[in-house]
Amino acid sequence: MIRDANTLNALLDTVNRLVRERLVPAEALVAEADEIPADIVQAMKDMGLFGLTVPEAYGGLDLTMEEEVMVMLAMGQTSPCFRSLFGTTVGIGSLGIVFDGSEEQKAKYLPRLATGELIASFALTEPDAGSDAASLRTTAILDGDAYVVNGTKRYITNSPEAGLFTLMARTNPADKGAGGVSAFIVEANTPGITIGKIDKKMGQRGAHTADVIFENCRVPVSQLMGGREGLGFKTAMKVLEKGRIHIAAICVGVAERMLRDALNYAMERKQFGQPIAEFQLVQAMLADSQAELYAARCMVIDAAQKRDQGLNVATEASCCKLFASEMCGRVADRAVQIFGGAGYLSEYGIERFYRDVRLFRLYEGTSQIQQIVIARNMVKDARR
Ligand SMILES: Cc1cc2nc3c(=O)[nH]c(=O)nc-3n(C[C@H](O)[C@H](O)[C@H](O)COP(=O)(O)OP(=O)(O)OC[C@H]3O[C@@H](n4cnc5c(N)ncnc54)[C@H](O)[C@@H]3O)c2cc1C
């Protein structure tokens, strides 16, 4: 649902200008330095990008899913690390508070998240609990006025920058499944939290992940999400479901950028006396990419519109994440092929995108996990 086309277009114009004038020129530098310059971070904060999904009452823009998708399609036109910096805050980092936080928790944290004063990370994955997130082992045991948290969270995006963690921990060790898990809002400066070394990754340099280690960390009872135990896994799944449409939109945006770069290259590069774009075998790569991209774009917008109508989009969200992330990988591969040898050199940037987009098929639920969710829902619906 697009509430007001003029307002959205004004926002999209600003995002497009930021992408064109500030982010695209900085792509290589950010990858080299593994750091987004402070003035760019500030520009993103000033534009309200950290508050895209925060309700207006708490200082955010409160975008609908369809509007959020439009912004992500625009943000996808540059290196995905830029999106990652505010994406965890507007997505998986803060949505738990928006969905299930108490009034006091919302009032305390959402305004500071909306301005970017606080960066939020989502701490679910552990060394031994990835796809099987419900088996997480981090414990939060009630002791007087606090929960004592012990455990290690792995690959936590933006944890070195985070001011706040949405933490999933087991409050009921007797329940080894999802029902024993609760969500907490943990301030990063709480004693007992250590951030590990920044991980060396295949791509998306500039976006940081690290372990977050909790050792006898006393988290005040007031930080239990919504004041209720045992609902943490449900909160995490709600957050991830919305995040899947968000990630799928970014996949479409980045694929558009890679295909545009490949098309421009194919029209300029000459072999056998003509632009390589004239060769039908190259055209097949361009055409397949364009067709798949169009399909993914339609899927993402459809799922977003259905979610805005209040429909259950659990299956659609997984279909979008599965198809768009796999499509993005195929487009990246074809783009490198179209660039030929130049596609393998860092100078042209396409190999960087090839590495960057590999992550989309892995995090926020791997492609296999999306397949499982889709098929499980199909069987469930058929049995009704
Ligand atoms: C750069 C990066 C950033 C991340 N950011 C965050 C973050 O901010 N917060 C957070 O909590 N997590 C984060 N993650 C973790 C990410 O969500 C997990 O890596 C992902 O869910 C997969 O878990 P795993 O790595 O343990 O793989 P595993 O679960 O060990 O999976 C390994 C392989 O087995 C397959 N597999 C597993 N189970 C099944 C099954 N039942 N059927 C078929 N195949 C299966 C998987 O699909 C995969 O191919 C991040 C990861 C990375 C790499």
Mean pLDDT for 176-205 is 97
Instruction: Report the residue among 34, 138, 363 best suited for mutation to probe ligand 1: largest number of ligand atoms under 8 A from its CB.
Output: 363
Mean pLDDT for 212-241 is 96
pLDDT at position 91 is: 86
Please determine, for residue 289, whether its predicted confidence score (pLDDT) is greater than 90. Answer: yes
Token readout for 101 is 């936080």
Residue nearest to ligand 1 atom 23, measured at CA: 130
Instruction: Name every residue whose Cβ is closer than 8 Å to that of residue 349 and which is 6 or more positions away in sequence.
Output: 27, 28, 261
Give the pLDDT band of residue 9 (cuts 50, 70, 90).
very high
Mean pLDDT for 27-47 is 96
Range 43-47, long-range pairs (CB < 8 A, 24+ positions): 43/18, 44/18, 44/82, 44/85, 44/86, 44/116, 45/115, 45/116, 47/14, 47/15, 47/18
Distance CA 182, CA 142 (A): 12
Do residues 100 and 168 make contact, with C-beta atoms less than 8 angstroms apart?
no
Is 364 marked active-site? yes
pLDDT at position 92 is: 87
Where does residue 135 rank: exposed (0-12), middle (13-18), buried (19+ CB within 10 A)? Answer: middle
Instruction: Report the residue among 155, 322, 356, 376 best suited for mutation to probe ligand 1: largest number of ligand atoms under 8 A from its CB.
Output: 155
Q: What share of the chain is helix, strand, coil (3-state, %, to 5)?
A: 60, 15, 25
Give the pLDDT band of residue 7 (cuts 50, 70, 90).
very high
Residues in the chain, total = 384
Tell how far CA 73 is from the center of its chain.
13
**Percent residues over pLDDT 70 in the chain:** 100
pLDDT at position 335 is: 98
pLDDT at position 89 is: 87
Indicate the DSSP class of residue 366: -
Token readout for 193 is 């939290």
